[in-house]
């Protein structure tokens, strides 16, 4: 399968790229922006990967990304990217920040998804997986209102992708992991991390490679698995 991973060079995205590239039957195209060293390391390790530089605020680079589907017979998209985030209490995040987040994090994904779906419809096959957050469905973490709001928008849009394109052999599913230690959460107070560990039923935080395995499963899954959201929270969110 030829797969495009949006945001596939660091954190969870890197684990997804590694998991998918470990299957030599896959060709994995992944985007990066600033993590050029990570991108080089992935290419050096996996011969079936190819990196694409995409700055979400660079129209030419986003447009280039939309041409990849027909050029490389891309059959699946995994959305695992965040370009801008204002971590603060909801009432302290002003409207300009929400607008910047929407322009940076949502609009480019819509452009890429629209291009992908148009190609998938012609091929009568396609897979779309969007990474969300379990905080959307349980108790949202303080200071992550903007992040969860954007993920909620993608959740609603992804549901539309699922219902509108099922007849074309296209599925759109979601994975909502609980807290993971990645670059995105690296500034979290260590005392809070320790408290999360104490309260966790498994006494260990979710590793990114477990989420990546779930992505692999959905890509290989049947067309009847569509519009579904897999919450990975060790049973804390039911």
In the chain, where the domains are located? 2-232
Return the sign of the alpha-carbon dihedral for residues 151, 154, 158, 159.
Answer: positive
* pLDDT by 10s per residue, the chain, length 238: 999 999 999 889 999 999 999 999 999 999 999 889 999 999 999 999 999 999 999 999 999 999 999 999 999 999 998 777 787 888 998 999 989 999 999 999 999 999 999 999 999 999 999 999 877 776 777 777 888 889 999 999 999 999 999 999 999 999 998 877 666 555 655 666 566 666 666 667 788 899 999 999 999 999 999 999 999 877 666 6
Record the pTM: 0.89
Residue in 214, 35, 37, 62 with CA at minimum distance from that of residue 129: 214
CATH 3.40.50.720 fits 2-232, yes or no: yes
CB 132 within 8 A of CB 144: no
């Amino acid at each position: 399968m030829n797969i495009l991973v949006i945001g596939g060079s660091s954190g969870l995205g890197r684990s997804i790229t590694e998991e998918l590239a470990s299957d030599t039957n896959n060709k994995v195209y992944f985007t990066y922006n600033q993590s050029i060293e990570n991108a080089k390391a992935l290419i050096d390790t996996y011969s079936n990967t190819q990196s694409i530089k995409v700055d979400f605020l660079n129209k030419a680079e986003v447009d280039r990304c939309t041409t990849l589907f027909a050029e490389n017979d891309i059959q699946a998209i995994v959305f695992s990217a965040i370009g801008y985030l204002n971590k603060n209490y909801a009432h302290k995040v002003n409207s300009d920040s929400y607008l910047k987040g929407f322009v940076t994090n949502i609009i480019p994904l819509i452009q890429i998804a629209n291009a992908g779906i148009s190609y998938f419809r012609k091929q009568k096959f396609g897979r779309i997986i969007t990474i969300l957050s379990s905080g959307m469905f349980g108790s949202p973490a303080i200071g992550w209102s903007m992040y969860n709001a954007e993920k909620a928008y993608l959740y609603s849009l992804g549901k539309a992708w699922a219902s509108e394109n099922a007849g074309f052999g296209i599925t759109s599913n979601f994975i909502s992991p609980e807290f993971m230690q990645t670059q995105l959460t690296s500034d979290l107070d260590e005392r809070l991390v320790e408290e999360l560990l104490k309260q966790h039923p498994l006494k260990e935080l979710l590793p990114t490679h477990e989420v990546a395995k779930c992505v692999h499963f959905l890509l290989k899954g049947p067309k009847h698995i569509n519009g579904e959201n897999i919450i990975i929270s060790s049973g804390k969110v039911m």
